[in-house]
Amino acid sequence: MPLGLRRKKNKSRESSNLVENEEVGGHAAGSSVKSTVNGAGLPPPPANLRPKLVFHTQLAHGSPTGRIEGFTNVKELYGKIADTFNLSPPEILFCTLNTHKIDMEKLLGGQIGLEDFIFAHIKGIKKEVEVFKSEDALGLTITDNGAGYAFIKRIKEGSVVDDVKVISVGDHIECINGKNIVGTRHYEVARMLKELPKQQKFTLKLVEPMKAFEMLEPRSKGTKPASENKLGTGRGTLRLRAKGPATVEEVPTEFEEKAVKKVDDLLESYMGIRDTELAATMVEVGRDKKNPDEFAMALDEALGDFAFPDEFVFDVWGAIGDAKQGRL
């Protein structure tokens, strides 16, 4: 049941980064809105090596338009957004690109189109719910925001969780059975939920994104992945990396788009998570590898914190090969 609304402090001033009454792919100031990369790794590069790019941003539930620049990973991005709107960075749950809606196919991951508009979804209502695990699978797909928050990306229709109507797509999972899991990666959260004993109850503490009045609607189960949903609208993208500086790259090729989507589907099938940045990294690692063993060794070197099943690695290798040959 709901535990209460997050209370915002009164703001004595507006940040100098706010652009009053400006409409740039979003809504004007003062109106209601109609529209993973882990920050860990190497220290950020010197300011003179960072891409000189400016992005426009708004709070998804309604705010003036702000400008942000000079970030190289998701944590820095959240910090810039928080400074712009006089927030604390932990108040930001996740960001979507070019829509204020809780659209899981428009989540900000490791790439931002140079003309993309960033909407930040911040903490709203807290709620605690008890769930009876009547089946092995709960029907949840988990992702994370790249800065320590795991949240629900999809709810399978007819599943155990689908019957618990207070749980929604976009909810941040804060605690499982009283254990705080903030800072736990999404694949670990998925494993913890999978290992909960069957035919027993468990408790979730959740935080849903704050919504504007016109956004209050029947909960969404999330859309199915679709290759036609492209995040970038510009001619290039800013690629955020877990290690090393951000880089400006061309729009992903057809091979990259198809391969990343297939690998993301395999991540959900094997591990119960979706993570386009992780999928893109795996495609990049496997692009020039000559056999599955070489690919597996390269994955261990690049992503040592993940424990991938051998069958999963083999299937990813096959998916990358199929994309190269145009068979996807």
112-122, pLDDT tens digit by residue? 888 889 999 99
* pLDDT score recorded for residue 251: 59
Mean pLDDT calculated for residue range 65-70: 92
Distance, in Å, from the CA atom of 236 to the CA atom of 217, rounded to the nearest integer, reads 34
pLDDT attached to residue 277: 80
Does residue 114 share a domain with residue 128? no
Is 175 part of any domain? yes
Q: What is the pLDDT of residue 145?
A: 87
Q: pLDDT class for 7, splitting at 50, 70, 90?
A: very low
Is the model more confident about 139 or about 244? 139
**246 domain-assigned:** no
Give the predicted TM-score (pTM) of the model: 0.68
Q: What is the mean pLDDT of residues 143-151?
A: 89
Residue 202 lies in a domain: yes
CA 19 – CA 42 distance, rounded (Å): 33
Residues 158 and 172 reside in one and the same domain: yes
* The pLDDT value given to residue 38: 39
Same structural domain, 81 and 128: no
Q: What is the percentage of the chain residues whose pLDDT exceeds 90?
A: 42
Q: Greatest CA separation found in the chain?
A: 60
Q: Which residues share a beta bridge with 126?
A: 4, 207
| CA–CA distance, 116 with 317 (Å, rounded to integer) | 31
Q: What is the spatial distance between Cα 31 and Cα 15, in angstroms, rounded to a whole number?
A: 17
* Alpha-helical regions (H) of 146-206: 186-194
Amino acid making up residue 29: A
User: 283 φ, ψ to 5°?
Assistant: -65, -40
Asked whether the predicted pLDDT for residue 167 surpasses 70, the reply is yes
Which has more pLDDT, 275 or 196? 196
Summarize pLDDT for 70-110 with one digit per residue, the tens.
888 888 999 999 999 999 999 999 999 999 999 988 998 77
Residue 60 lies in a domain: yes
Q: 271 in helix, strand or coil? A: helix
Residues 131 and 197 in one domain: yes
Q: Are residues 99 and 131 in the same domain?
A: no
Boundaries of domain holding 316:
251-323
Query: Sign of torsion, CA 258 57 146 189?
Result: negative
77 and 139, same domain (yes or no): no
| 133 Cβ contact list (under 8 Å, min separation 6) | 160, 196, 197, 198, 199, 200, 201, 202
DSSP codes of every residue in 132-150: EE-SS---EEEEE-SSS-E
Q: How confident is the model at residue 64 (pLDDT cuts 50, 70, 90)?
A: very high
How many domains, in total, are found in the chain? 3
Tell me which of 189, 207, 225 is where a domain ends. 207
Alpha helices in the chain (DSSP H): 74-84, 186-194, 254-271, 276-286, 292-302, 310-324
The pLDDT of residue 33 is 35
Angle between helices 276-286 and 310-324 (to 10 degrees): 70
pLDDT at residue 309, rounded to an integer: 86
With respect to residue 3, please indicate whether it lies within any of the assigned structural domains. Answer: no
- 177-208: per-residue pLDDT in tens? 999 999 998 999 999 999 999 999 999 999 99
- Please report whether residue 222 resides in a domain: no
- CATH label of the domain that carries residue 139: 2.30.42.10
- Which range has the worst mean pLDDT, 40-54, 66-80, 150-164? 40-54
Does residue 10 sit within a domain? no
Give every CB contact of residue 123 below 8 A, 6+ residues apart in sequence.
Answer: 6, 91, 93, 172, 207, 209, 210
In a domain, 2, yes or no: no
